[in-house]
Amino acid sequence: MKFYDVFNGDADGLCALHQLRLAEPREAILVTGTKRDIELLARVEAGRGDEITVFDISLEVNREALMRALDAGARVRYFDHHFAGTIPQRPRFRAHIDGSADTCTSLIVDRFLNGKYRAWAVVAAFGDNLREAAWKAAEPLEMNDMQMHTLRVLGECLNYNAYGGSLDDLHYQPDELYETLRRYENPLDFVVAEPVYEVLRTALSDDLARAAELEPAMARESVAAFILPDAAWSRRISGFFSNQLTNAFPMRAHAVLTVRAGGYLVSVRAPASIPAGADALCRQFETGGGRSRAAGIQLLPESDLPRFLTAFEKAYPGRG
């Protein structure tokens, strides 16, 4: 009998796994990747009696692999907040899935554990840029401003670390990061005892300084688009940069495009004031998908750039 823990390598995936394993300690084979490596379940060759726990990757995207694992006789537990489609009803399958815009996988695990390791869920909510949800979840912890600041920055740093075109772009491999943080019941202890926080904070601010120098490719009252060059720092900072724009200009939708072979990797954030429509926009393109608040296109062919910018403006026309 084998155990597998399958998790998205971002703050939410890490903190979801960490909370559950603090409550239910278990040595498992770790299966993870960059933030965008979401077809993780296909990497598991499960058999009868094996147990798989999945965190923070879309069920819809992993459906085939999930059904195969269940058919092979494995037991699967699934925690997630991405688009799931129809949730299978099977005897060895338990789903904890909530696609609400104001939750994340770590908050779902937190609910399952009755808030036992709440501070890690707060870190993850900040990482997923769910600031309101993070503050609300933190209320019973009675943290001071400095502590809240630390949890927020930690969440942002862990989230930032998962962004990259491949694992080579990342400062820390997500499975190694988990091995480091799993020793800490309290994220504030982790921050003090391990160099990870300072290393990532410095790296993030270096990458962000480069992005901040870019002029927007398009800027209107209701939309703005930025194009980042084909470089490791671009791939690392694109997510944080998008979140920062969204927080700074809550009435505006943002698209951050990163140059890649054949075109662009596109990340779209709906305006914070009306968090909707990002998925509908991205699904107009072949490799697009995501959630209403944040969505993306894996590969926008270079020739489709004008079509994308037009559709983007049309999706968020503003008041004018």
Contact string (CB under 5 A) for Mn ion, positions 197-216, x = contact: --------------------
80 near Mn ion (CB under 5 A): no
Pick the piece of the chain touching Mn ion (CB under 5 A) from 24-32, 67-75, 97-105, 227-235: 97-105
Nearer to Mn ion among residue 50 and residue 128 (C-beta): 128
Pick the piece of the chain touching Mn ion (CB under 5 A) from 56-64, 208-216, 218-226, 270-278: 56-64
6 near Mn ion (CB under 5 A): no
**What is the CA 119 to chain-centroid distance, rounded?**
18
104 near Mn ion (CB under 5 A): yes
Beta bridge partners of 55: 7, 79
- Burial string for 296-305 (b: 16+ CB within 10 Å, else e) reads bbbbbeeebb
Instruction: Kindly report the number of other CB atoms within 10 A of residue 142's CB atom.
Output: 7
Q: Any residues with CB less than 8 A from the CB of 53 and at least 6 apart, and which? A: 3, 4, 5, 6, 17, 20, 28, 76, 77, 78, 79
Nearer to Mn ion among residue 46 and residue 272 (C-beta): 272
Q: Are 134 and 122 in contact (CB under 8 A)?
A: yes
Pick the piece of the chain touching Mn ion (CB under 5 A) from 128-136, 137-145, 146-154, 203-211: 128-136
Could you give phi then psi for residue 28, rounded to 5 degrees? Answer: -135, 160
**Cα gap 30→5, rounded to integer Å:** 5
CB of 130 to Mn ion, least distance (A): 9
Work out which of 56, 156, 207, 304 binds Mn ion, going by CB under 5 A. 56
CB of 152 to Mn ion, least distance (A): 16
110 near Mn ion (CB under 5 A): no
In the window 152-181, what residues touch Mn ion (CB under 5 A)? none
CB of 56 to Mn ion, least distance (A): 5
CB of 311 to Mn ion, least distance (A): 26
Q: Map residue 298 onto helix, strand or coil.
A: strand
**Cα gap 309→312, rounded to integer Å:** 5
12 near Mn ion (CB under 5 A): yes
First-to-last alpha carbon distance for the chain, in angstroms, is: 61
CB of 229 to Mn ion, least distance (A): 27
Using CB atoms, what's the residue nearest to Mn ion? 12
Contact footprint for Mn ion (CB under 5 A):
12, 56, 104, 128
